Structure 1
Amino acid sequence: MAAGVLAITRPQPGAWVAAALAALILGTLAAVAWQARGLSALGPWDWRAVWFTIWQATVSASLSAVLAIPVARALARRRFRGRMALVTLLGAPFILPVIVAVMGLISVFGRNGVLNEGLRGFGLPEVSIYGWQGVILAHVFFNLPLSVRLILQGWQAIPAERFRLAESLGFGPRDIARHLERPMLRSVLPGVWLAVFLVCLTSFAVALALGGGPRATTVELAIYQAFRFDFDLGRAAMLGLVQIALCVAAMVLARRIAIPAAFGAGLDAPHRLRGPGGWRRGADTLAIALATGFLLWPILAVTLRGLPRIPALPPEVWDAAARSVVMALISALLAVVLSLALALTLARHPARWIEAAGMLPLVASPLVLGTGLFILLRGTISPQALALPLTVAINAIMALPFGLRALIPAARELHSDYGRLADSLDLRGLGRLRLLVLPRLARPLGFAAGLAAALAMGDLGVITLFATDQPTLPLKMYQLMNSYRMADASACAVLLMAISFALFWLFDRGGRLA
């Protein structure tokens, strides 16, 4: 409590940032609540969208978690050449633009995709990627790697002493699964399921590209339709509140069903989990191979299809690419500045309300925030003038929690090691920032900037709310897909993917070399 009072009584940049951020997000949500007309504003199709959102998020989260278990187990107990590279690759879909992944899935599972061409060659019926099946397939594609990484951490968190004790007692694979692996999964899976459920609950680009129609409309897509086509702000606002309520309910549910594994602390001794032989070795190999193929096949398909078309892309695509790069750089700079101010303040004066303000962007989706900001600012500026600035601002705000998580531990360590020395030397302001903070925090700053730039580069959210003649590269790619110019859309996908990964690599690499 004293720390919180201290953070308020001494004016710190992070305190001002936290207060402004809380005012912006809570004010935006208040505007949404004020504009909402109650549940009576929602019609039968809206409730169908709510039901479909819950259903597809539940199915997607459950499939992602269940399918991730054998892959994580195989990675935990097998050692092979390229294993670390594969584990690292599992983090790539997090910064992969959603619309690029959708394009890759269409290249494989679409009407003219590799799968349907093969089915036609054998005289078998074709499959359709559009509708609920496409939405779930795309969500599993994105969230299977995340689930594998989180569950793999659970396996690695089991103390090595427990496995040594199991070996000394002669435990077989079934005994280890019963006494070690299943308790760990009961502890880890609720959090994994919740993370994926929230991602699927607030997913927009996937539903926009692969869903639609009365049977495959999510709440996010219903908000977009109510805002963009019907201009029914009351209905859009009410749908936004329903979505927030669903997210909060999911968090409460996951907390109640999580069961601690209670393994106790270990000695952090390195231990190689020995994988059983026989058919289990083959099953582990198959699980890793299928997961790798599922993740790489769509990306390779869209790359091979679009790479030769890049030089022939029309000038408006390159204009959209340049516009997206500039916006991504501004968003990354803004996100890093805000995250750094919050982290430095929290390192000196820990205050729960400041950290909570930094996590507030996770409460609402970009579409809900965009709707609220439009409600607050309408009448003062035209929607077209709002499109690009709001997109930049909201992308920075949505990336802020990830940057804050990366910076807080490093900022606290910096303050613990050098804070008193810097104070005794009266090193303050820009001098302290230039000589101490930036050199010592270069690595997490580079990672945070790269992540923010990559996420902003691939965002297809707020920009779709406003009619604009200045599209970003993801929006231009979506327009090409709607015009059935799939070759140009594939080339756009390759370009967008290359720029996103390049931005992340440049910032992250720059931070490591600083």
Structure 2
Amino acid sequence: MLTRAEHRAARAGGIAALAVIGLALALPIIVLVSYGLSSDAGTSQGSYLYRITRFTLLQAGLSSLLSVVFAVPLARALARRPVFPGRRWLIILFTLPLGLPPLVAALGLIEIWGRNGVANTALGYLGAQTPFSIYGLGGILLAHVFFNLPLATRLILPGLERLPREYWKTAANLGMGGFSLFRLVEWPAMRGSIAGAAGLVFMLCATSFTLVLVLGGGPRATTLEVAIYQALRFDFDPGRAVLLSTIQIVLTLTIMAGLKLVSAPADPGNTKGGSAHRPDVRGGVHAIADAALILLAVIFVAAPMLAVIGAGLVADLPRLLSDAIFWRATATSLGIGIASAVLALLLSSLMVRARHSANAPTSAPAPRRLSGLRLLSAMWGAAGSLTLLVPPVVLGAGWFLMLGGGAGQLVAPLTAIVTINALMALPFVMRVIEPAYNTAMARNSQLALSLGITGINRIRQIDLKAMLLPLATGFAFALALSLGDLGAIALFGSDRIITLPWLLYQKLGSYRTTDAAGLALLLGIATMVLIFIADRLGNRGGTQQP
């Protein structure tokens, strides 16, 4: 419970946070619209816009299809084998791509699937004449499956693991097996998860930037976000950038609406609990088939990360660490990351506190006031997801045009980058701290009121101490996301503003792959350490992980 004064302060803070987010999103969009109204690019570049949009949808659709098609048998194999040596480490391995910077993963994929990579070398020994090309549509699909196969598997697997043991007992009594078991038992349990996973993967791939920028391989393999970057960074064609941004926003909005439609609540069924004996779990050839499938998935996910480690260790790390530009990039990345993480935490905390206040009014309010509180609560809850509607490159395009390209400026572009990174981290941070805050309030609010501890004293003495671990978890996640991000810096990167991802991208662009491998190793270690810390803190604090 909160006092009336605390309710007013919480809601005022939430409204202020909402205003900051709205302003940060509205200003670049208004700039984009104003440029678009004065442009005739739509009439002169219709075929180009159609081709870019078609390729964006094509690669996202194929990536989603491949990720889900491979995730279904893998999830079934893992569900059939709930206990085997190393299963816990396998699940941890499947979480690593979620926090790995896309630029680092791209370098690892090039080491494995590039022209002189491990896979093509092996194909050469087997007599293959034409090596696999990592650049173009094939490379984009490979990279997206690398990132999204573990994600789709983790989303589908719980539906199978939640099936009551009575289902399996009935299936065994009826003699079910093979396709009948899949069609009547497993498919109904996976159907909702598969639709949700496919929709989420489609959205991630449709808004993918870094992987397509590095592996696209030319104009024939360019998505909307990369085309926006090229239109501003290389051609400075604001009209084309505005049209592409508009198409990207409409596309993202449509996908998010589709995700709402396909998401379905899980059906836990009626069960007495206990372990389940599945009729399809057998040894011999069946166990070997499951083991082979799981092993292939482990190799596919682990190989690029091991390649980054191997290539990075071969690089001249002492020389890289003694280079002044490396430390400049590190300092800039840390400064941007810390600032964006603090901003994300501040905005999230204000909105979470305000939402809690709106859902727990001081007294029975009038119907009109209650409707207003419900509307505000919905707006605070949706504010984090709202930032997903406008991808970083689209936001950056608006800020880029607003700042006139940012040439010769330092503070304004850095402010734009910090703001964009904070907005992109907002959904993850809110998901971490909101359940923890609600739990802390349920435990401590009555005690605080009985002791007369209110206002700033309550925040300092009770709330902050109870929320220390969740706040640290959110901070670590936001910092890791910012350290590995290339989308915001791509438009503003220059000799004056250099981050580690931008420096790594420059090394790749100038074919200094050895230095790029060393930087990728250092950047990958930094982000993985942060993700590990966040995971450990989240487990200790009992918070819900992103």
**TM-score, structure 1 as length reference:** 0.92
Query: More displaced, 99-108 or 177-186?
Result: 177-186
> What is the SS of the residue equivalent to 2:353?
helix
* 2:71/2:150 contact within 8 Å kept: yes
Q: Which of 315, 319, 326 is matched with 2:324 structurally?
A: 315
Aligned to 2:369: none
* 1:41/1:238 contact within 8 Å kept: no
Query: More displaced, 197-206 or 497-506?
Result: 497-506
When residues 89 and 268 of structure 1 are mapped into structure 2, their CA distance, relative to the original with a 3 A threshold, is farther
Aligned to 2:252: 247
Aligned to 1:44: 47
**Aligned letter for 2:219?**
P
> What is the SS of the residue equivalent to 1:47?
helix
Query: More displaced, 34-43 or 344-353?
Result: 34-43
Structure 1 alignment gaps of length 5 or more: 1-5
- State yes or no: 1:56 paired with 2:59: yes
Q: Which of 217, 222, 242 is matched with 1:217 structurally?
A: 222
Equivalences for residues 40-439 of structure 1 within 5 A? 40=43, 42-78=45-81, 79-125=83-129, 126-256=131-261, 263=267, 265-267=269-271, 269-272=273-276, 274=278, 276-277=281-282, 278-309=284-315, 310-313=317-320, 314-350=323-359, 351-378=377-404, 382=408, 384-439=410-465
Aligned to 1:22: 22
The one-character-per-residue Cα deviations of 1:222-258 (angstroms, maximum 9, x if unpaired) are 0001111111222111111101111222233445556
Shift of 1:317: 2.2
Aligned to 2:531: 504
* 1:159/1:265 contact within 8 Å kept: yes
When residues 472 and 177 of structure 1 are mapped into structure 2, their CA distance, relative to the original with a 3 A threshold, is same
Shift of 1:179: 1.6
Aligned to 2:35: 35
**Aligned letter for 2:319?**
A
Shift of 1:496: 0.4
Please give the alpha-carbon distance, in whole angstroms, between the structure 2 residues aligned to 1:296 and 1:75: 17
Please give the alpha-carbon distance, in whole angstroms, between the structure 2 residues aligned to 1:216 and 1:40: 23
Count of paired positions? 508
Shift of 1:54: 0.4
> What is the SS of the residue equivalent to 2:222?
coil
Aligned to 2:368: none
The one-character-per-residue Cα deviations of 1:127-152 (angstroms, maximum 9, x if unpaired) are 21111111111111111111011011
Structure 2 alignment gaps of length 5 or more: 1-5, 360-376, 542-546
> What is the SS of the residue equivalent to 1:230?
coil
Query: More displaced, 195-204 or 316-325?
Result: 316-325
Please give the alpha-carbon distance, in whole angstroms, between the structure 1 residues aligned to 2:379 and 2:164: 34
Please give the alpha-carbon distance, in whole angstroms, between the structure 1 residues aligned to 2:103 and 2:200: 20
Shift of 1:448: 1.5
Aligned to 1:452: 478
Aligned to 1:485: 512
* 2:99/2:527 contact within 8 Å kept: yes
> What is the SS of the residue equivalent to 1:461?
coil
Shift of 1:501: 1.5
> What is the SS of the residue equivalent to 1:417?
helix
**Aligned letter for 1:349?**
A
Shift of 1:349: 1.7
Please give the alpha-carbon distance, in whole angstroms, between the structure 1 residues aligned to 2:238 and 2:487: 17
Query: More displaced, 307-316 or 468-477?
Result: 307-316
Please give the alpha-carbon distance, in whole angstroms, between the structure 2 residues aligned to 1:179 and 1:227: 53
Shift of 1:511: 6.4
Shift of 1:512: 6.2
CA RMSD after TM alignment: 2.5
- State yes or no: 1:494 paired with 2:521: yes
Please give the alpha-carbon distance, in whole angstroms, between the structure 2 residues aligned to 1:379 and 1:335: 25
The one-character-per-residue Cα deviations of 1:135-174 (angstroms, maximum 9, x if unpaired) are 1111111111110110112222333443344344443343
**Aligned letter for 1:33?**
V
When residues 281 and 123 of structure 1 are mapped into structure 2, their CA distance, relative to the original with a 3 A threshold, is closer
* 2:507/2:516 contact within 8 Å kept: yes
**Aligned letter for 1:460?**
L
Please give the alpha-carbon distance, in whole angstroms, between the structure 2 residues aligned to 1:323 and 1:409: 33
The one-character-per-residue Cα deviations of 1:76-98 (angstroms, maximum 9, x if unpaired) are 12010121221122111111000
